[in-house]
Structure 1
């Protein structure tokens, strides 16, 4: 079938040329030219010169003067040799400073020329070697920052990290919300949670250098931390390893999934419609649900790797640091630059403290006393405070003026309404009257166990522009006598007990 006639303004291409030569094997020039889509005159020219059109084209020549001809070899190359890591934009700025006639329009040309020079004459670069991951062999741990996600708890920005564990072969993942920094406690808690969720342990566990955990420790403390980490891995039969400091791609099997996991979390927050959570526990449930979806997608691979994992021991090992503190006359103790209050009856005692990432467990000897929320010092190194007004309210009732200049006064108020009420009292009453009224309000909230209800009433007083009325609040939150049940106890007759004893003696005989 003859080809389409060629337009006069179009050149013959290689495809037409090959088609012509194919038909020329059995047809004449005119017929073959018609099938290829060009004229007979073109066919006779091809007969004289059978080269392809692409072979007839000459090399492309420069159409304008090279603006870097005089300076690239003379000035740019020595600069690249003396400072191999210098950026092309810095080279451009230097050349513009030296040569006023140069235009900024040469930037792309300079960048391409530098890229080609480095490819031909530059230093050898780091090579990443892809690895074959054997099932059950390697598990990796790392921490990743989460500030950019913008999560809030009760309207307050949550300063936190994620502990991230991953199996290199199947891709099993586990994430745990860490409220403090990178530490052995965070690593131990997160790693053990991951292993028990997995139901097995890999033969090797790799982490980064945990530089944040070691930065401010002396040699003895670093050695102790290393020993504890090795003992943790030995408890689960894992060989502890670390990648070289500053070489992130050695931990590539978890560094890259950091970004993927955070992207999934951002998308889930957008679908949720809010980044605010009622408490940290709700946020942790949210993270667990997201990670479980990721693991569900890799379910077959995880199931295939599971037989190659080691069995777990019968119990977990310790995932806390233990220390001792002394309760001073201030009604509390200081630990890691944070002051904690405890009941005043513990003043003068030494307590044993188990320090977790998010809580403190207090013991007096072997007796468990209470659990406190763990506090953190301020960003500038200022001491933090974890205050429970119930621990000190009885003493404040005897010394109400102590509230006026109390170091931890703002942390003493359990809710914002109490703090705003105290500010209003200080504005309209004398310092003594303001402190006495505020202490009585806190005492009422504690004794009648109505902290939230009193806060709601104080918000109403603030909205109405009135000062709180203590008598009104006491009557409102006083126990209702009608609500107290009347309990009537009818004592059994002593003769009934004697009958039971007689019957028991007969059965024994």
Structure 2
């Protein structure tokens, strides 16, 4: 109605309906006149065309960016923005103002995103409960001693990444199939179940590593067939693929297992 002030809510409703309807229908749905609708559309057009494409002030980094900062970034990829800032403040105070620090940091981050070296990408793995079990042999950091003589041993470590459940067993010897088989079967019993897949590293007791294919050894193939799980291993030489069983807390598991067995042996 004439003389009635259009509310912000009406403008919002009009703009929402204007995306799907013509001016007349959108105005009717918002409860405003066609004249008001034309005025709203005109204001929106002016706002869109008035977006500036130029600077409102002089670039504060113009005197030092190409000649000083870019060469520093190209020479050393590990150089931190604060280090560049300190360098400019100490040697180029005639060209750089400390008040432009935030502008400098934003420009450095943008430059590195566009021109920096490519980064390694690691995709995080989402594990399904009961789907995967991972095994590894872990060397003990703090050796158990008997009569002050270190006991040669290691730990067989089994972990289910989805739940974080883990099992460790002391192994007196090397990474043999007997040690692997015994540890794995005891882990299955302790977990009260067998996962769909068991992953190892390139264990010679389980895989024929001299072959280009992932051929299982005869004894490991029999173990796989007996328990009915799928056998897999990490890509050779890619250590981070075994990260689900080799985080920092592995040393804690090792220490606890060693302390437990140490109390039994030092009699």
Structure 2 residue 1 is the aligned partner of structure 1 residue 6: no
Matches within 5 A, 1:227-306: 230-231=204-205, 241=233, 247-248=239-240, 250-254=241-245
**Counterpart for residue 77 of structure 2:** 84
**Counterpart for residue 24 of structure 2:** 25
Measured after TM superposition, the shift of residue 70 of structure 1 is 1.8
1:174 to 149, 161, 166: 166
Structure 2 residue 74 is the aligned partner of structure 1 residue 72: no
**In structure 1, C-alpha distance between the alignment counterparts of 2:164 and 2:116, rounded to whole Å:** 40
Q: Secondary structure at the match of 2:122?
A: coil
**In structure 2, C-alpha distance between the alignment counterparts of 1:63 and 1:164, rounded to whole Å:** 63
Residues 144-190 of structure 1 deviation map (CA, whole Å, 9 limit, x = unaligned) = x9xxxxxxxxxxxxxxxx9863245x656214499xxxx969xx699
**Counterpart for residue 197 of structure 1:** 190
Q: Secondary structure at the match of 2:112?
A: helix
Would the alpha carbon gap of residues 184 and 60 (structure 1) be closer, same or farther in structure 2, given more than 3 Å must change?
A: farther
Measured after TM superposition, the shift of residue 81 of structure 1 is 1.8
Structure 2 unaligned segments of length 5 or more: list them: 141-154, 208-216, 225-230
**In structure 2, C-alpha distance between the alignment counterparts of 1:58 and 1:6, rounded to whole Å:** 25
Structure 2 residue 201 is the aligned partner of structure 1 residue 206: yes
**In structure 1, C-alpha distance between the alignment counterparts of 2:34 and 2:260, rounded to whole Å:** 85
**Counterpart for residue 127 of structure 1:** 121
CA RMSD between the two structures: 5.5
Q: State which structure, 1 or 2, has the greater radius of gyration over its C-alpha atoms.
A: 1
Q: Normalising by the residue count of structure 1, what TM-score does the alignment of the two structures yield?
A: 0.32
Matches within 5 A, 1:297-336: none
Measured after TM superposition, the shift of residue 75 of structure 1 is 1.8
Measured after TM superposition, the shift of residue 58 of structure 1 is 1.6
* Residues paired across the two proteins, number: 219
Structure having the higher helix fraction is: 1
2:261 to 358, 362, 373: 358
Q: Normalising by the residue count of structure 2, what TM-score does the alignment of the two structures yield?
A: 0.53
**In structure 1, C-alpha distance between the alignment counterparts of 2:11 and 2:157, rounded to whole Å:** 58
Matches within 5 A, 1:15-164: 16-17=14-15, 19=17, 22=21, 24-25=23-24, 35-36=31-32, 40=35, 43=37, 45=39, 49=42, 52=45, 54-59=47-52, 61-101=54-94, 102-129=96-123, 139-141=134-136
Would the alpha carbon gap of residues 112 and 54 (structure 1) be closer, same or farther in structure 2, given more than 3 Å must change?
A: same
Measured after TM superposition, the shift of residue 116 of structure 1 is 1.5
Judge conservation of contact 1:138–1:167 (CA < 8 Å) in 2.
Answer: yes
Q: Secondary structure at the match of 2:166?
A: strand
Residues 187-219 of structure 1 deviation map (CA, whole Å, 9 limit, x = unaligned) = x69954534423548554138xxxxxxxxxxxx
Judge conservation of contact 1:33–1:39 (CA < 8 Å) in 2.
Answer: no
Would the alpha carbon gap of residues 167 and 106 (structure 1) be closer, same or farther in structure 2, given more than 3 Å must change?
A: same
